[in-house]
Amino acid sequence: MKNTGDKTISIAGTQLSPQTLLQPTESIQQLLETAALYLHIPFCHTRCYYCDFNTYAGILPLREAYVRALLTEIELAGQMARTTAGEKRRSRSIFFGGGTPSLLSVAQISRLLNACFSSFAVDKDAEITLEANPGTLTQEQLFGLREAGINRLSMGAQSFSASLLQKLGRIHSPEEIVQAVSYARAAGFTSINIDLMFGLPDQTMQDWRETLERALELGLAHFSLYSLIIEEGTPFYSWTQSGKIKPGDEDLCADMYEYADELLQKAGYINYEISNWSLPGQHSRHNLTYWQNLPYIGMGAGAYSSFAGKRFSNELSPHEYIKMLKARRLPAVESEDIAPEQAMAETAFLALRTAAGLHLPTFEQRFAKTFAQFVGDRLRMVEEAGLLEHEDGWLRLSKRGRLLGNEVFMRLLPDE
C-alpha cells in the first residue's frame, strides 16, 4: 500500500503529529497492569459475501442463552484476571464487536456492561464502543444504548454506493447510514466511527471519491478504511475462483488509499494507524491497545486474548460455547506462552504499523533491554536503504518503508 510521508498537521497554528497525540499519559508499567475488554457478539441477519468473521446468520433465537453464557464468562474472567493483590483488574476500554452487537436488546447490552463493571475495575472515563450495522439501528435503541453507558459507536458503513453495498451483501442503504448517524447524534453520541472499504470488485476511483465525500460531509470523529481481502471460504472467494467477480486492481487500490489519506488529512484527520484516521484526541483507545501490544481479554465465542504472558482463543461455536459456560468452564481452547523475544518482536512490529512508530524509551522500560540490544544489527540493511527514520526517541517507517514494511518486519524476529 502506498501512503503519504508527512503526517504532521497544523491545528490552530500548532504542529501536531501522531507522536505528540498518542504519547501515553501513563507509564508503561501502569498500562501493562490493565486489560482492555472485548465482547464478541456472533449474530448477523445475513452473511455479507466477503465476511470470514466468527458470526452466524439464522441463530437469533440463541441470543438470550448466549448473553447468559457471556455473563458467566465475564464473572470467571474477572476472577482469573485479579491482580496479585487480589484486586479487580483495571480496564480502560470495553468493545462490543461482532457480528452485529446492535442485534442485542438494550437490556442485554446493559446487563453485559454491568457484569463488566462488577467483575473489573472499569475506569470512570472508559471508552465503551459498540459496533453496529446501520440497517439495524433505531432512534429509541440509540437513546437506550447511550443511557446504558455506550459512549462510542462504530458503524460498518462500507460504501455510499447502493450498487456496491448490494454486491457486498450488505443489508443497509446509503440513506440508512446517514439516518443512523443522525439518530446517534440526537441520542448524544459524539464519538462515531464508520468503516469504509476500498479495492472492491467493480469499484471505480469515482465511486471511492463519492463515498469519501459523502462520508466527510457527516463530520465524524473517526474513519477506518480497509482494503478488501478475499478470504477463503467466503462466497467472494468462490466467485473469484469461478471468474464471476474480479478482485480490485492492486495499483488502483494503492491509489485509493493515497487519495483517501490526502483528503482526510486536508480535512484535519490524523492517520494514526495504517487503516485509521481520527480528529485530534478522537483516536480509539481500545484499538490502540492492540497496536501498543497491551493486555486484552476477549470474551465470547472465538474471541482472542493476550494476557499474563499468554495468548489464548475461545471455542468458536456459539452452541459449544454456551454448553461450556453452563458448566462454568472458561472456554479457552487454545493457548500459547509468549516468549520474551517474541513479545519484543511483536511490540516493535505492531508499533511500526502506527504512524507514531515505536517509542524507544518505552520499549526499554518495558523489557529492561534497549531496542538496539534486542535487534542487534538485523535492521542495518533496511536502515541503510532508508526504510526507517528516527525522531526524538521514536523509530518509524519512512515513506518508502511503509511501502516495503515486510522487509523490516521479517527482520525483527531473532534468527533461529
Question: Binders of ligand SF4 among 5-44, rule CB under 6 A?
Answer: 44
Grid coordinates representing 245? Answer: 467477480
Q: In angstroms, give the least distance from the CB of 52 to ligand SF4.
A: 8
Q: Which of 47, 90, 369, 399 binds ligand SF4 (CB under 6 A)?
A: 47
Tell me the pairing of strands 222-227 and 276-278. Answer: antiparallel
> Which set of grid coordinates corresponds to residue 121?
475495575
131 belongs to an annotated ligand binding site: yes
Pick the closer one to ligand SF4 by CB: 247 or 280.
247
302 forms part of the interface with ligand SF4 (CB under 6 A): no
Closest to ligand SF4 by CB, 236 or 349: 236
Per CB under 6 A, 48 contacts ligand SF4: yes
Q: Which stretch binds ligand SF4 (CB under 6 A): 50-58, 77-85, 147-155, 198-206?
A: 50-58
51 is in an annotated binding site: yes
Yes or no: say if 396 and 388 are a contact pair by the CB < 8 Å rule: yes
Does residue 53 bind ligand SF4 (CB under 6 A)? yes
d(CA 357, CA 172): 37
Nine-digit cell string for 414 = 531473532
CA-wise closest residue to 54 among 231, 293, 287: 231
Contact flag: residue 51 with ligand SF4 (CB under 6 A): yes
In contact, 198 and 227? CB cutoff 8 Å: yes
**Which 85-124 positions form the footprint of ligand SF4 (CB under 6 A)?**
98-100
C-alpha cell of residue 157: 458503513
- Taking each helix axis as running N to C, give the angle between helix 340-352 and helix 360-367, from 0 to 180 degrees, rounded to the nearest 10: 160
Determine if 135 is a binding residue for ligand SF4 (CB under 6 A): no
355 in contact with ligand SF4 (CB under 6 A): no
Give the residue from 187, 227, 182 showing the smallest Cα distance to 203: 227
Please check if 116 is assigned to a binding site. no
**Distance in angstroms (rounded) separating the CA atoms of residues 134 and 149:** 20
The smaller minimum CB distance to ligand SF4, of residues 58 and 340, is found at: 58
Grid look-up 467472494 returns 236
Judged by CB under 6 A, the number of residues near ligand SF4 is 11
Is 392 labeled as ligand-binding? no
Binding span for ligand SF4 by CB under 6 A among 48-56, 74-82, 257-265, 334-342: 48-56
Q: Which residues are CB-contacts of 227 (< 8 A; sequence separation ≥ 6)? A: 1, 197, 198, 199, 248, 253, 256, 257
- Give dist(CA 359, CA 397) in Å, integer: 12
Q: What is the CA radius of gyration of the chain?
A: 21
| Minimum distance of ligand SF4 from residue 275's CB (angstroms) | 15
| φ and ψ at residue 352, rounded to 5 degrees | -70, -15
367 near ligand SF4, judged by CB under 6 A = no
Interaction mask 215-254, ligand SF4, x per CB under 6 A: ----------------------------------------
Binding site for ligand SF4 (CB under 6 A): 44, 47-48, 51, 53, 55, 98-100, 133, 156
Q: Which residues are annotated as a binding site for [4Fe-4S] cluster?
A: 44, 48, 51
Q: Which residues are annotated as a binding site for S-adenosyl-L-methionine?
A: 38, 98-100, 131, 158, 170, 195
